[in-house]
């Protein structure tokens, strides 16, 4: 984990990759729990035997939105802004899922700081978050994420 003690430290890194998270395994249990939470029970995610037989991926894959939902955890695992009292998710500009996440694989996030904008009582940070799968060159998710730090 990389710690930052001031906004000035971050401003020096605009345009650069700042940190990467630890690897996180995507288990079938996690996929099933996400399916129950969202009501998305499509067979390519939860029916292991059918996915092995019929899916072009050779087995079940994680929901794209499950991968995206890991973003706060992965970011928190990669960086700590010690000077911030509170942070909030402000939204996303763009999200893509270039390749699937097979169940049983591991993912991590790479964080590139794109922009910092001063706002009242804080700063708005725009990050390019690339989630990659272990052993694969093509990312599984690329998202431009905006957060506010107060």
pLDDT for 3-24, tens place per residue?
Answer: 999 999 999 999 999 999 999 9
What is the Cβ-side half-sphere exposure of residue 104, based on CA atoms within 13 angstroms?
5
Q: Which residue has the tokens 């799968």?
A: 133
> Per the structure block, which two tokens stand in for 11?
């401003």
Q: How does the average pLDDT of the chain come out, rounded?
A: 97
Q: What is the pTM of this model?
A: 0.93
Q: What is the pLDDT of residues 117-139, one digit of tens each?
A: 999 999 999 999 999 999 999 99
Nearest to 72 by CA among 85, 99, 91: 91
Give me the count of residues in the chain: 150
Per-residue pLDDT at 33:
98
Q: What is the pLDDT of residues 84-112, one digit of tens each?
A: 999 999 999 999 999 999 999 999 999 99
Helix (H) and strand (E) counts for the chain? 6, 8
């Amino acid at each position: 984990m990389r710690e930052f003690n001031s906004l000035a430290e971050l401003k020096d890194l605009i345009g650069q990759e700042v940190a990467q998270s630890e690897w996180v395994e995507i288990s079938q249990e996690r996929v099933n729990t996400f399916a129950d939470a969202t009501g998305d029970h499509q067979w390519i995610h939860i029916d292991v035997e059918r996915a092995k037989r019929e899916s072009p991926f050779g087995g079940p894959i994680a929901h794209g939105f499950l991968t995206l939902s890991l973003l706060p955890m992965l970011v928190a695992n990669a960086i700590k802004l010690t000077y911030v009292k509170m942070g909030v998710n402000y939204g996303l500009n763009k999200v893509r899922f270039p390749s699937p996440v097979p169940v049983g694989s591991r993912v991590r996030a790479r964080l590139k700081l794109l922009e910092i904008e001063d706002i009242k009582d804080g700063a708005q940070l725009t990050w390019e978050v690339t989630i990659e799968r272990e052993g694969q060159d093509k990312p599984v998710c690329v998202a431009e994420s905006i957060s506010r730090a107060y």
